[in-house]
C-alpha cells in the first residue's frame, strides 16, 4: 500500500490525455524544436549533413584520431555559440572543460578574430544588426564569454559536472558545454571496471539532463583507439562498450587520403552521410578542394537564416 505523496492533478500542459504529468505531446515538441536553432560549425558541408549544425537539447559525441581536428572544432563551436542567432549562433556563452590541456588560448583568439572578420564582410547586408554586432563583438569579449575549466582527474571531472547544474542556473546565458576529451581520465589505471561503467553512465545521464533542462548544446570529444576485432586491428572510439550508447548523436572524424572527413555514425533523425572539412588558420572551414570561396559560403548561410526569420 503506497501512500500517494505527490499531487496527481492532471496537468493541463501534458496535452494528449494527461496520463503522465509533465509529459509533452509530440506535436508540442515538434514546434518547440523549431524554436531552437542549431550552431553552425563554420563549414557549410558539415552543417548540411548535420541538418544545419549541432543541435540543442542533445548530447553530440565527436570522435577521431589525434590530429584530426577535434579540439579545433571544439574551439570553433565555443566561439560560434556567441554569434547572434541570425548568423548561425545562439548569442550565448560557452563552457569549455579541458581534461587533457589541449585548449590553446592563442588559437582561440585567432579563430575569434577570423570569425569577426567574416561577420563584418557580410554585415553590410543587414546594416542595423551589423552596427549593433560591431559594438559588442571584439575578440576580447569573445574570449571573456568562454568559461574555461581544467580538470586533472576523473573525480574532478565528475565533481565539476555535478556542479554545472548550479553554475548554469546562475549563468543562464551559457548555451554550450564542451568536454575535451570526455573519456581521457577514465582510461588509465582503473582497477574496478564495474565502478568505471557506473561512473561513466551516471555522468552521461547527468549531461543528458543538463542538455534537456537548460536547452544546451552538449558536445563531447572522444579519442579513438585500436581494437582487435575479427582478426584485425580496427579503430573504435575509446571505451566503446560501456560508453557508446551514452550520446544522442555521434560524429566520427577520419582521414580519407589527405582530406579530413566527418561521418554521421548515430542520430535519431539524420541519415548517415559524410562531408569533407578543413582546418585553416581561420578555424574550421569548407574543404579547399571544393573550390568554394569562404566568403560566399558564409553569405549563403546568412541568407538562409534570414529567410527563416
- Cell readout for 20 is 503522465
Rounded CA gap, 309 and 303, in Å? 10
Residue 189 as a binder of another protein (CB under 8 A): the answer is no
Query: Which segment (25-33, 38-46, 166-174, 283-291) binds another protein by CB under 8 A?
Result: 25-33
Residues in binding contact with another protein, number by CB under 8 A? 55
Query: Nearer to another protein by C-beta: 25 or 289?
Result: 25
- Cell readout for 18 is 494527461
Rounded CA gap, 305 and 88, in Å? 7
Contact 61, 250 (CB under 8 A): yes
Residue 2 as a binder of another protein (CB under 8 A): the answer is yes
Phi, psi of 239 (to 5 degrees): 55, 35
- Cell readout for 262 is 566527418
Residue 175 as a binder of another protein (CB under 8 A): the answer is no
CB of 186 to another protein, least distance (A): 14
Residue 211 as a binder of another protein (CB under 8 A): the answer is yes
Query: Nearer to another protein by C-beta: 109 or 270?
Result: 270
Residue 159 as a binder of another protein (CB under 8 A): the answer is no
Query: Which segment (77-85, 140-148, 152-160, 264-272) binds another protein by CB under 8 A?
Result: 264-272
Using CB under 8 A, pick the residue from 13, 20, 48, 104 that binds another protein: 20
Report the chain's C-alpha Rg in angstroms. Answer: 20
| Closest by Cα among 53, 49, 50 to 83 | 53
Query: Nearer to another protein by C-beta: 121 or 213?
Result: 213
Contact 210, 177 (CB under 8 A): yes
Query: Which segment (52-60, 119-127, 178-186, 294-302) binds another protein by CB under 8 A?
Result: 52-60
| Closest by Cα among 108, 236, 263, 256 to 180 | 108
Q: What angle is formed at CA 207 by the lines to CA 109 and CA 252, rounded to 5 degrees?
A: 65
- Cell readout for 282 is 581561420
Using CB under 8 A, pick the residue from 48, 140, 226, 269 that binds another protein: 269
Q: Which residues bind another protein (CB under 8 A)?
A: 1-4, 6, 8, 10, 14-27, 29-30, 33, 57-59, 194-195, 197-198, 201-202, 204-206, 208-209, 211-212, 229, 241-242, 244-248, 250, 265-266, 268-269, 271-272
Amino acid at each position: 500500500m503506497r501512500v500517494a505523496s505527490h499531487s496527481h492533478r492532471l496537468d493541463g500542459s501534458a496535452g494528449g490525455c494527461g496520463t503522465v504529468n509533465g509529459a509533452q505531446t509530440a506535436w508540442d515538441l515538434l514546434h518547440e524544436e523549431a524554436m531552437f536553432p542549431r550552431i553552425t560549425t563554420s563549414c557549410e558541408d558539415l552543417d548540411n549533413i548535420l541538418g544545419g549544425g549541432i543541435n540543442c537539447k542533445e548530447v553530440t559525441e565527436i570522435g577521431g584520431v589525434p590530429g584530426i581536428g577535434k579540439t579545433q572544432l571544439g574551439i570553433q563551436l565555443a566561439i560560434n555559440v556567441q554569434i547572434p542567432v541570425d548568423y548561425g549562433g545562439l548569442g550565448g556563452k560557452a563552457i569549455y572543460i579541458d581534461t587533457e590541456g589541449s585548449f590553446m588560448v592563442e588559437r582561440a583568439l585567432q579563430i575569434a578574430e577570423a570569425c569577426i572578420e567574416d561577420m563584418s564582410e557580410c554585415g553590410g547586408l543587414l546594416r542595423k544588426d551589423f552596427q549593433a554586432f560591431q559594438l559588442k563583438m571584439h575578440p576580447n569579449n569573445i574570449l571573456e564569454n568562454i568559461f574555461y575549466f581544467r580538470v586533472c582527474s576523473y573525480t574532478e571531472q565528475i565533481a565539476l559536472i555535478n556542479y554545472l547544474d548550479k553554475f548554469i542556473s546562475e549563468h543562464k546565458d551559457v548555451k554550450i558545454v564542451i568536454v575535451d576529451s570526455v573519456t581521457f581520465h577514465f582510461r588509465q589505471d582503473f582497477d574496478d571496471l564495474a565502478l568505471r561503467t557506473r561512473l561513466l553512465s551516471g555522468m552521461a545521464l547527468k549531461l543528458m539532463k543538463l542538455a534537456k533542462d537548460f536547452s544546451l548544446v552538449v558536445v563531447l570529444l572522444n579519442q579513438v583507439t585500436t581494437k582487435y576485432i575479427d582478426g584485425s586491428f580496427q579503430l573504435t572510439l575509446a571505451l566503446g562498450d560501456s560508453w557508446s550508447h551514452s550520446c544522442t548523436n555521434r560524429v566520427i572524424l577520419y582521414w580519407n587520403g589527405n582530406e579530413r572527413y566527418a561521418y554521421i555514425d548515430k542520430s535519431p533523425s539524420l541519415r548517415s552521410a559524410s562531408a569533407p572539412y578543413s582546418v585553416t588558420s581561420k578555424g574550421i572551414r569548407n574543404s579547399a578542394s571544393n573550390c568554394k570561396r569562404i566568403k560566399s559560403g558564409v553569405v549563403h548561410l546568412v541568407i538562409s537564416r534570414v529567410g527563416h526569420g
